[in-house]
Amino acid sequence: MAAFDLIVIGSGPGGYIAAVRGAQLGLNTALVEKDPAGLGGTCLRRGCIPAKTWLETAHRFEQMESLKEFGIADVDVSKMRADLAAIVTRKNRIVLKNGKGIEYLMKKNKVTVLKGIGKLLGGGRVVVEQEVHTAKKIILATGSVPRELPGLETDGQRVLNSDHILEMTELPSHLVILGGGAIGVEFASTFARLGSKVTLVEMMDQLVPIEDTAVGEELAKIFAKSYKMDIRVKTKITRIERSADKVICHLEGDKSGTIEASHVLISVGRAPVTTNIGLENTKAALDRGFVDINEFMQSKEAGLYAIGDIVKTPMLAHVASDEGVVAAEHAAKSLGVDAHPHPINYDRVPGCTYCDPEIGSVGLTERAAREKGFEVQVGQFPFMPMAKANIIGEPHGFIKIVADKKYGEILGIHIIGPKATELVASSLALIGGEYTVDELINTMYPHPTLNEVFPEAARAVYGRALNM
């Protein structure tokens, strides 16, 4: 038995950051990880990072097709093909490198790594591989798994989840994707560009349902026009027939019927991992599988914190990391350390979807702003007239600003287009009452850059954009 000040269960971007912060504050810290492959959690091993390596390959593959347009001659692009085995090899190499980086961080900060399944026993006790450890404070960061649907269970062969598809070494001839959220549209974008026929099925009335309506509609148009995708919103798959070499999907809704495909990807969200981890031995409360917490990530069990995908906050790696810092700092403060935890402002969480075109957003959608009672005015400006967008060959999409008409406060910024996931980072300072539409109009941006679209969108709020 070993005694620690802090034990963190789960080494994803929330868990390992929490462990580092706890150690920095002087706590004797341990990090528990069950995955024999190593540290990093879903984000590194089966989620964010692997998916982005696939997306980068697809982006470069698409760029190669336009080499002649950019003045690069004598390249026979007709002979290009996607080598999925090489993509998987590169993905594994990047995952391994980043995993080693996390291991180094643990050693540098003197965090003890406990390998095995961690389970709560109550009273500040955690069992790992039959060895019981004690901790004054515990942070749960057990993450999530792909959500399964009754009757549409995945098998890793023809019916896949996001874990399975990252290991594919043969290109699907026809991939049907159920779920048009961030994960679904990212894989749709990837495999359409690599050469698969893609059908995208979404039960809600738009793709990426959490995004502004205009963004979802624009994405559907670009997917259909540029990648010849079959987009079916307000539609669901009710039944799947499986055979050795194909699947038949039965659809109901606005675009019902049957579709014969080589593979189906079930991408309907993720479920929190809160079963079989010993929560029944504590006073922690659950709400539909998520741990109830306060603003400092504390559960109803004294000394037990929960962060990341197991709490009802946005399932995003950067959110989990910030929550890990808050929990570790609060734990340290309660143990007498001079720490200053600050609750997270979830109204200013940036969202990123890495399909092509990319999507970045922060703040309220137009619909949400109206539902909150704001008198709303919006400005929307396309990337098409912007010199930089044309230089890089991606003059598609737009930026949309949602503003309060009375005070000019910027309530939300929604971007679909080139480098949107990078552009949204510079949007954060514009949200939250600290910036108005007029101030954004009067902000100077360098030329030629994609950032020049910001003041143009602000001028569009008043109907006086300069570049149109």
Distances (CA, A) of 447 to 50, 188, 418, 450, 451: 34, 33, 16, 8, 9
Q: Which two tokens stand for residue 234?
A: 């307000």
Task: Give Cβ neighbours of residue 174 (< 8 Å, ≥ 6 apart).
Answer: 196, 197, 198, 199, 259, 260, 261, 262, 263
Q: What angle do CA 249, 254, 259 make, to 5 degrees?
A: 20
- Alpha carbons 102 and 403: distance in angstroms, whole number: 41
> How many helices and strands, by DSSP H and E, does the chain display?
13, 24
For residues 390 and 417, the answer to whether their CB atoms sit within 8 Å is: no
| Short-list 180, 434, 141, 148, CA closest to 313 | 141
- Alpha carbons 78 and 235: distance in angstroms, whole number: 36
Distances (CA, A) of 389 to 64, 166, 222, 385, 446: 18, 30, 16, 8, 14
Catalytic residues: 447
Task: Give Cβ neighbours of residue 392 (< 8 Å, ≥ 6 apart).
Answer: 418
407: number of Cβ within 10 Å = 11
Element (H, E) at 266: strand 263-266
Distances (CA, A) of 68 to 56, 65, 73, 450: 21, 8, 6, 24
| Short-list 302, 353, 293, 284, CA closest to 323 | 293
Question: Where do we find the tokens 């008198």?
Answer: 375
Q: Which 3 state secondary structure label does DSSP give 135?
A: strand
Q: What are phi and psi of 193, to 5 degrees?
A: -75, -30
First to last CA, the chain: 70
